[in-house]
Structure 1
């Protein structure tokens, strides 16, 4: 799938495309704050993993024996560039990446009540580096769209997603305040670690509800 917008007939497509264009123009600037994350992303654009496993606590993208030493050094350097890693763990071409939050613990608590994601259009608001999005792939969603306002996590996810060949996953450099751009779009919405940061949690929940399709959760 080239663009998830093909699936979202009720989304404010014009506004989303305009925000993408503005983001692309801004990130193309040769500013140090952009380059520190854009350059690692670009440095690994030639790498594609032959092996992936999204079903275990540590998301695995590639094995060490898939790469030569030169590319392994590039991977190590790029992964360090995205520190600190808030969510994880990951293992990328044999490089073990720990994280401040052991995100598998929350995921394992969710599993007993996880709605059926098969064929569903899913949103992960505040997706960070996409740990939970990768874990969702085992459950065969149609696509998962992450909204993440922080550049570090945005580029980290894009790097991991491309190496993993996870074409069902997408990210926008957006925050929860952009959810009104997606009316009646999602079957399932994940909102984890966000609500208590909002000035008006009730208003935010109303906006989330308005972004759900009938019967959404």
Structure 2
């Protein structure tokens, strides 16, 4: 089944500026699919095949991600869809609303989008890439801004399955998620906007990562970068120890000034810090759709300005830059 998802994408890009991707991508994705023999992949594919066909009378992507209303289906079908979607827990990025079923995700990703949106170059008619897109919530919001082609990449099999479960109710041929990492990308230099939100601090080599993002942009394109930061001057970079807020794979947390220097050294222009905000336990929290530990469990109970390891509590910044 997954191969058919990818075949649709191959046909979609065959006559576009993204066609050079076809030299490597089919082999990469075939290799990825063969590697998914462990875990829940087969079970999740079956669950997606059980999602009922429904008539979607309402589609909202501009102000939220809503597909259908409760009036489109009967109570039995709504319970059926709810039960199937709950088997894809944990749902981390959202929220989504499917036929009146509110998928209340761990993150209020809509809040992040509202911080990002005022600073975007117009997306209408554009080709955009979201690196580390998770389950694809922001892909739908980008499409809601009339982007022509929306592509997300993220190697997680669960995120792909969550995306496909949502796309079942809106099979938009212009929105795609590919289960690959940024290191698998060839330099396409074809995207008008490249987003990377919540990824930089997970990379062992942040300069290499930023270089990879740059190699996807066309001349004059916009980079939208959101990441954890710390307060400080252009020389301030925190390298976390074994864990940061209980996350093992956190490496470098620069100040916004240091990050600006990094981007400038790589040749980006018109670099702007457009938003800085502390992450709150209202924005990232435990829900019925993500019922394991969340931010409140990762902060010092006596001093919420610090993580339980003693580092500064999460602060996120959004930067934009042009090529």
Q: TM-score, normalised by structure 1?
A: 0.89
Residue 30 (structure 2) aligns with: 21
CA distance in 1 between partners of 2:209 and 2:117 (Å): 25
Residue 197 (structure 2) aligns with: 192
- Structure 2 residue runs without a partner (length 5+): 1-7, 223-323
CA distance in 2 between partners of 1:17 and 1:151 (Å): 17
The structure with the largest alpha-carbon Rg is 2
**Number of equivalences:** 213
Residue 100 (structure 2) aligns with: 94
CA distance in 2 between partners of 1:146 and 1:45 (Å): 25
CA shift, 1:133, in A, is: 0.7
Higher strand residue share? 2
- Structure 1 residue runs without a partner (length 5+): none
Give the conservation status (yes or no) of the 8 Å contact 1:10–1:182: no
Deviations 1:35-67 (A, max 9, x none): 33222211116345232111224x111111211
2:155 maps to 1:149: yes
One of 50, 56, 59 as aligned partner of 2:57: 50
CA shift, 1:163, in A, is: 0.9
Residue 206 (structure 1) aligns with: 211
Deviations 1:97-148 (A, max 9, x none): 1111111111111111011111111001111111111111221111111101
Describe the SS at the equivalent of 2:217: coil
CA distance in 2 between partners of 1:87 and 1:139 (Å): 19
CA shift, 1:164, in A, is: 1.4
Q: TM-score, normalised by structure 2?
A: 0.62
Question: Highest relative contact order (Cα 8 Å, sep 6+), 1 or 2?
Answer: 1
CA distance in 2 between partners of 1:13 and 1:25 (Å): 19
Give the conservation status (yes or no) of the 8 Å contact 2:187–2:212: no
Describe the SS at the equivalent of 2:169: helix
Classify 1:177/1:85 alpha carbon distance in 2 versus 1 (closer, same or farther; 3 Å): same
Root mean square deviation, CA, Å = 2.0
Describe the SS at the equivalent of 1:134: helix
Residue 107 (structure 1) aligns with: 113
CA distance in 2 between partners of 1:12 and 1:132 (Å): 23
Classify 1:45/1:209 alpha carbon distance in 2 versus 1 (closer, same or farther; 3 Å): farther
2:182 maps to 1:176: yes
